[in-house]
Amino acid sequence: MTRRTTLQSMIALAGGAVAAKGISSSAFAQENLTGSGEVRVYKAGGVWGDAQQATFFDAFEKATGIKVVGIPYIDDGAIRASVLAGEPAYDVAGMDGALVDSYVEQNLLEQIDYSYFRPGDREDFSPIPATPYLVPSLFYSMIIAFDSRAFPDKAPQTWTDMWNVEQFPGKRAIADAGNNVVGSAVFEIALLADGVDPKSIYPIDFDRAFKSLDKLKPSILRYWTAGAEPPQLLTDSQVSVTSAWNGRITALKAKNVPVDLSWNQAVLQWEGWSVLKGAKNKENAMKFLAFVAQPEPQAKFSEMIEYGPPNHKAFSFLNPDRTARLPGNPDSFKTQLVQDYSFWGAKGADGKRNAEKALDLWREWVTR
């Protein structure tokens, strides 16, 4: 079976699961969001991007007549520079929840026009709300992933286990905080590995976090920068344990690749959509956001990849077994550490945000 036919099968299954509830995800769009031209939208890589294409991009284009041009990842600095130059890299950008305040402060975002939205959809975003500048797009988790061939009897279940290279031998990989200081969740993970109670993670004790990282550093083979790296490192047996985003690992498990994960102490994260200042296709961008805010396409997306929907009504279109495996389901807020974006966006006495401080400290540490 080819990648294309596999994707088509996944789309059919996702659509069928939601359609069984008697839902037409395109009806509102056909009546209220039709238009012409295009909209340039951030498109992720791998299975995530496939799910976006099938359930958001293609469905929106079919319902409205507006072409979606998927634009791959561009780093934060380049996005800001593109807006300042008057040539925004996207109309609709994928926005890390920890960055949105600084974008607003620098006047780099358009206010979202919620008049395009179906009544009630904005209010159904819970517990992370849709704000004047950001519509949450998904929940995901930074989890402990491991090569199941390396641990046939007892596998690592906590970040402390990942740090314990004597009991769980092999090389390690963690995300490069220099590439994504907040999204990497490196500092939260290091403190959890050092035994800090999840309720006491914030404010981050950077001295303690780096002392914890010092203990793991001799065993770190790779500081990964792309979500595709951890599963590849595990598959190739280059590392035995790594941090990873849950969707990448569960996608491999579904193909019977010998990898596994632990949800214990997972760091629950979320991302959103924002419209960049000066977007060339601003009206189409608002229409796109109105479409993806609906629970029906969000449910279809979460059928294709194990990332959770931020519109809580989407869970009503998913079966209980699927819901239980999704980050952002009601129980996940009780069992996982919810990353505190307000901490990372807060400024210290020196005027620097905590994320900026952490980035400076990381760059000094990683080159030692």
Which tens digits make up the pLDDT trace of 80-112?
999 999 999 999 999 988 889 899 999 999 999
- pLDDT value at residue 127: 86
CA distance linking residue 11 with residue 26, whole number of Å: 15
Q: Poorest-confidence range of 113-127, 254-268, 333-347?
A: 333-347
Q: Name the pLDDT band for 334 (thresholds 50, 70, 90).
A: confident
pLDDT at 8 over 80: no
Q: Which long-range contacts (CB under 8 A, 24 or more apart) does 308-314 make?
A: 308/138, 308/139, 308/140, 308/332, 309/138, 309/139, 310/125, 310/128, 310/136, 310/137, 310/138, 310/139, 310/270, 310/272, 311/121, 311/124, 311/125, 312/124, 312/125, 312/126, 312/127, 313/124
User: pLDDT digit string (tens) for 54-70?
Assistant: 999 999 999 999 999 99
Cβ-proximal residues to 39 (8 Å cutoff; 6+ apart), any chain: 66, 67, 68, 69, 91, 92, 281, 284, 285, 287, 288
Q: Alpha helix locations (H) across 90-205?
A: 100-105, 159-163, 186-193
Residue-wise over 285-300: b if at least 16 C-beta within 10 A, else e?
bbbbbbbbbbbbbbbb
Question: Which pLDDT belongs to residue 25?
Answer: 58
State if pTM tops 0.75. yes
Q: Residue 18's pLDDT is what?
A: 52
Question: Which two three-digit tokens encode residue 314?
Answer: 């989407």
How much is the average pLDDT of 198-211?
97
pLDDT range class, residue 19, cuts 50, 70, 90:
very low
pLDDT at site 13: 47
Sign, CA dihedral 97-102-108-112, equals positive
Contact 67, 119 (CB under 8 A): no
Portion of the chain with pLDDT greater than 90, in percent? 83
d(CA 192, CA 194): 5
- Which domains are delineated in the chain? 3-139+270-324 (3.40.190.10), 142-269+340-366 (3.40.190.10)
**Each residue's pLDDT tens digit, 139-190:** 999 999 999 999 999 999 999 999 999 999 999 999 999 998 999 999 999 9
Residue in the structure block whose two tokens are 């069984």? 20
Helix axes 354-366, 206-216, angle to 10 degrees: 30
Look at residue 331 in the predicted model and tell me its pLDDT.
84
Omega before 258 cis (within 30°)?
no
More confident residue, 2 or 41: 41
